[in-house]
């Protein structure tokens, strides 16, 4: 449940994330302040910042977790974005990579597009995740509880899904770097040692050889 009067800020949770982040973790953040604030607080090549693709951070993070099974993958998604692409939640529940942690900011609004209220702001998203097959899903209401959850040893198999109750943050944070999707992709693929994809005319492409 979202209570704007008492809920922590996104920055409160991000400070905990920065303090508990494994050194080899890969972090995917959704569009808007989810990416802008994280870049301002903890910019690194292993961050993948989304721009103009609402609801697609979770699918990308799922594929990344499958492709990089030895590294922790953490994705920050919003409640509004999840409701736009609910099928991604079902797919995560079916595949359930144990190295994937989903941090869902529940603030009750579409913050990245102006703060429009969700149709059901108080939906129990942890229960929804469990119904989709994600057993390690829980609601979090304080940074202290979030820190405990992040530091706790894995108590089961599959993906971890933490719903973080937060107050809306519609005022845009200025990131410390220019957000260019091509540069973000190249910086990130270099950081994880992935071959660069070279597009060709009229469709198709190839992976660049060493």
Provide the pLDDT for residue 203: 67
pTM of the model: 0.89
The first and second tokens of residue 15, run together, are 């400070």
DSSP for 170-186, please give it.
Answer: -SPPPPSS---HHHHHH
The owner of tokens 């409160």 is: 12
pLDDT in tens, the chain (210 residues): 555 557 899 999 999 999 999 999 999 999 989 999 999 999 999 999 998 888 899 999 999 999 999 999 999 999 888 888 889 999 999 999 999 999 999 987 676 676 677 677 778 999 999 999 999 999 999 999 999 999 987 656 899 999 999 998 878 899 999 899 999 999 999 999 988 777 777 767 777 665
Domains annotated for the chain, with CATH where assigned, are 10-207 (3.40.50.970)
Taking the C-alpha atoms of residue 70 and residue 72, their distance in angstroms, rounded to an integer, is: 7
Provide the pLDDT for residue 189: 94
Q: What value, to the nearest 5°, has the Cα angle with vertex 161 and ends 155 and 166?
A: 125
Taking the C-alpha atoms of residue 26 and residue 38, their distance in angstroms, rounded to an integer, is: 13
> pLDDT digit string (tens) for 114-135?
667 767 777 899 999 999 999 9
What are the CA-CA distances from residue 156 to residues 40, 112, 141, 153, 183 (Å)?
33, 34, 22, 9, 37
Taking the C-alpha atoms of residue 129 and residue 89, their distance in angstroms, rounded to an integer, is: 7
3-state class (DSSP) for residue 167: coil
Q: 143 near 15, Cβ under 8 Å?
A: yes
């Amino acid at each position: 449940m979202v209570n704007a009067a008492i809920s922590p800020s996104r920055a409160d949770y991000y400070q905990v994330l920065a303090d508990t982040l494994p050194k080899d973790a890969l972090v995917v953040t959704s569009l808007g302040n989810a990416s802008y604030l994280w870049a301002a607080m903890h910019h690194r090549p292993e961050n993948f910042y989304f721009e103009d693709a609402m609801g697609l951070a979770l699918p990308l993070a799922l594929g990344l977790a499958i492709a990089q099974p030895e590294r922790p993958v953490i994705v920050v998604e919003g409640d509004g974005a999840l409701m736009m692409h609910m099928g991604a939640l079902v797919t995560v529940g079916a595949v359930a990579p144990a190295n994937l942690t989903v941090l869902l900011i529940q603030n009750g609004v579409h913050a990245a597009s102006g703060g429009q209220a969700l149709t059901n702001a108080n939906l129990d998203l942890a229960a929804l995740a469990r119904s989709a097959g994600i057993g390690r899903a829980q609601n979090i209401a304080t940074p202290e509880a979030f820190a405990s959850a992040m530091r706790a040893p894995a108590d089961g198999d599959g993906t971890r899904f933490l719903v973080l109750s937060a107050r809306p943050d519609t005022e845009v944070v200025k990131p410390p770097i220019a957000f260019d999707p091509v540069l973000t992709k190249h910086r990130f693929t270099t950081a994880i040692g992935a071959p660069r994809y070279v597009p060709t005319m009229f469709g198709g492409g190839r992976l660049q050889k060493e």
